[in-house]
Structure 1
């Protein structure tokens, strides 16, 4: 256990790992870069599932989705569970019981009827604030903006379920009157009150971006020239040897007719959105410096999952377990315990943050959690038994419910598709995941080993599809 630390979590929604990576696209992220210089960057951090409600529930509980039960988004009519079961213990409740002053601002999306107060947090600002609530609507009006009179420019739409779905646009609203800016302002206010308080605090700000629609103000909307954005390496996707659902998903999401010029315009807004959020993170970090909180507060930046943004020609996320959606940013700044500028190469997951927060607060996490505290990795004392394989899952959404599992091991990646062909990628040779090697004779042993590993993971974690899937996996492995 450690002494009780003040903790700040800055969570983004659908932020790709590569946009702030050193070898990623040329996106301006000075604040995220600063956190990486002053903290520890996890190079192989993954979400346990590529959909919002499920990933956020895993963050709260430290459990894989099949163990906490929220398998898809809670707001949709096909939600398997509209709310997180009350018998699951969350880090918010544990920290609150230990005397932490927990607060929250931004996107929640865990539970159709549940709010942060149900999990030990005081709500300071919500994404869905209405005029009657004051908050953001009042903030906009104070900046001379009528929330109901905003006319967007340079819009791009997809045809989704017979209707136009906004993909990206420029807003004429000044940056100070945007939700992104407002949430940073609320966060700074919270830090100011925490600096004069005696209680340990945990604050989380959940920016509702860069999730689509990528609607950004100037100067960010025109910061990146679409003509200068290089094509994604996997934009050349042909779907040859891939599950049938991959190509079907283009039509379902309404981007079947998007050409690169269209995607480049949308990506330029996405990049601008990332830079805009980064600027707000910078405002928060500067406030911590000014308030003297920078040396005593653990700062964590991560995302619930990533975003295709035209990779593999796809939009949003879905039944495709590619790196753009599952590989997430994770940086932790812990000034007096974690060496600045270090990188960690061990596989870690978003669900590891729950026991990590408990450890930082001096609280025991439940023995039932699937995640593990990152504190040993942060302090440079990686356990000998740290995981060498990472597994993620997916259960479908409005496109249809189905089971998928993903295994990362070294440079190899297996996607188990119960409904279609499996996928096997060698990320060292094919980082863009264009070539499915599942039937390649040179990779038979890799395929067999990863399927065996998946079966063992299903047994260890009580995966409900394990009893019948294990027989399929074992039979296939024996036939290789």
Structure 2
């Protein structure tokens, strides 16, 4: 009897802003992702469990918050608390492989120094980079076949931080020689093989972008004119009433000297990078159509976390739990199940995708996960007990450990900063999160409610901070 379970294609971008694919977002050309929203469901309130690459990706794989899977900071840095994800943790890769799915993986991994997707149920098809993974040399070999000398192709028009780190530039190579194009090429090849085989498959493609450095070729490098770029409203940040690390981080990242013109140039390059990646996602969607797979395939697009790009005068990400880096894009197309053009406003988390993939594949979902299947929402049925709150955490980056927790309910967000002043924002009145209302008397009841919500979440998820945080939160 033929296996009628649907295929799954997950396309994960690296450090993509939520608003790039939002209807009211900035003018960024993303026709492929717009198509996914038009043909599927767009989630308006999707959040990463943490705004750091390795930790968020480990949560996506396991359905657990970082304090439960243990990978609380990046694996490639010298200060990694846990260099590898334990292989005894169940992941959606191993679960679906054990359930009869053919599981393949292309692109960025960044969930371990010594362990690869092969250790977690996937057949790895290449595309890693030396900085994060260094698993294979497939991309270099691909460029050799194109007679492109990557070592000699220095980027032009560079923008650098104060310490010389590359932020943005023009890549002199042709589009076909870029890593995004290569990853799409590998993905299309995998889909062709899948179309010829029996049984369902899960394929995952992880693009290494639009994470910095924003180095893009023409025509994408000049697709957006810096003169037409409006800086985010939060660029008006004064740091008044904010934790001291917020202001310190501007110089720590080396962008204290960036003026409006510099940021506009950086943002223009980033948007070009996003459009380059979107065109490659378009190639993947076209391949699904051409191979007759589209009607039987669940397509998911998400990002591990967002990007500041001048928001709050910041670069990259860090100990700042703003919407810029914690709210993420999420679109799901599932023909016959998801109503085309539907929008979900229920709060969801990136790691909710883990039990969702199990649910799609008719695999039992463990009841001890920190996540919940999105399948009811995809069918247009929000359960009565769906949480109204979404929580997230942060443990530090290469500058050292720095503990934070966050909860958002409706328009209100509370950030618990263990070493400094807490934060409270009313995003309905202040969507740019410029005014910290933590001591405002009119918000005393909101403050108390969100503190209680945060303590409850800590208890529910066995957060080690739960032993002491209630005393600090009052």
TM-score by length of 2: 0.97
Q: Name the structure 1 match of 2:265.
A: 265
TM-score normalised per structure 1 = 0.96
1:24 pairs with 2:37: no
Equivalents in 2 of 1:249, 1:11: separation in Å? 27
Matching residue of 2:145: 142
Contact 2:128-2:136 at 8 Å conserved across structures: no
Unaligned ranges ≥5, structure 2 = none
| Root mean square deviation, CA, Å | 1.4
- Deviation by residue 1:33-77 (Cα, 9 ceiling, x = unmatched): 000000000000000000000000000000011010100001111
1:112 equivalent in structure 2: 113
**Residue pair 1:131, 1:138 contacting (<8 A) in 2 also:** no
Q: For residues 69-88 of structure 1, what are the structure 2 equivalents within 5 Å?
A: 69-88=70-89
Where 1:376 maps in the other structure, the secondary structure is helix
Q: Which residue of 2 aligns with 1:478?
A: none
1:354 matches 2:357: no
Question: In the alignment, what sits opposite 2:69?
Answer: 68
Q: Deviations over 1:59-112 (max 9, x none)?
A: 000001101010000111111111112321111001111111100000000011
- What residue number does 2:221 align with? 221
Aligned to 1:447: 447
Q: Say if 2:156 is the partner of 1:157.
A: no
Cα contact 1:338–1:380 (8 A) shared by 2: yes
Match of 2:240 in 1: 240
- The CA distance in 2 between the partners of 1:185 and 1:285, in whole Å, is 12
Asked if the contact 2:7/2:200 (under 8 Å) is kept, the reply is: yes
What are the ranges of 5 or more consecutive residues in structure 1 without an aligned counterpart? 476-480
Matching of residue 100 in structure 1 with residue 101 in structure 2:
yes
Q: Deviations over 1:239-283 (max 9, x none)?
A: 001000000001100001110100110100000000000000111
Check the 8 A contact 1:411/1:427 in 2, yes or no: yes
When the two structures are aligned, how many residues end up with a matched partner? 470
Moved more, 398-407 or 98-107: 398-407
Instruction: Supply the distance in 1 between the matched residues of 2:125 and 2:134 (Cα, whole angstroms).
Output: 15
- Matched-pair contact (CA < 8 Å) for 1:3–1:361: no
3-state SS of paired residue (1:262):
helix
Shift of 1:3: 5.5
Counterpart Cα distance in 1 of 2:467 and 2:138: 50
Using the TM superposition, give the Cα deviation of residue 133 of structure 1 relative to its aligned residue in structure 2, in angstroms.
5.1
Contact persistence 1:46–1:327 (CA under 8 A): yes
**Distance in 1 (alpha carbons) for counterparts of 2:430 and 2:177:** 43
> Structure 1 residue 366: deviation in Å?
1.9
Instruction: For 1:282 and 1:49, locate their aligned partners in 2 and report how far apart those are by CA, in whole Å.
Output: 28
- For residue 151 of structure 1, report the CA deviation from its aligned partner: 1.2
* Separation (CA, whole Å) in 1 of partners of 2:134 and 2:385: 52
Mapping of residues 5-404 of structure 1, within 5 Å: 5-128=6-129, 134-159=137-162, 163-404=163-404
Change (3 A) 1:254 1:134: closer
The one-character-per-residue Cα deviations of 1:412-454 (angstroms, maximum 9, x if unpaired) are 0111111111111110110000011111111111011100110
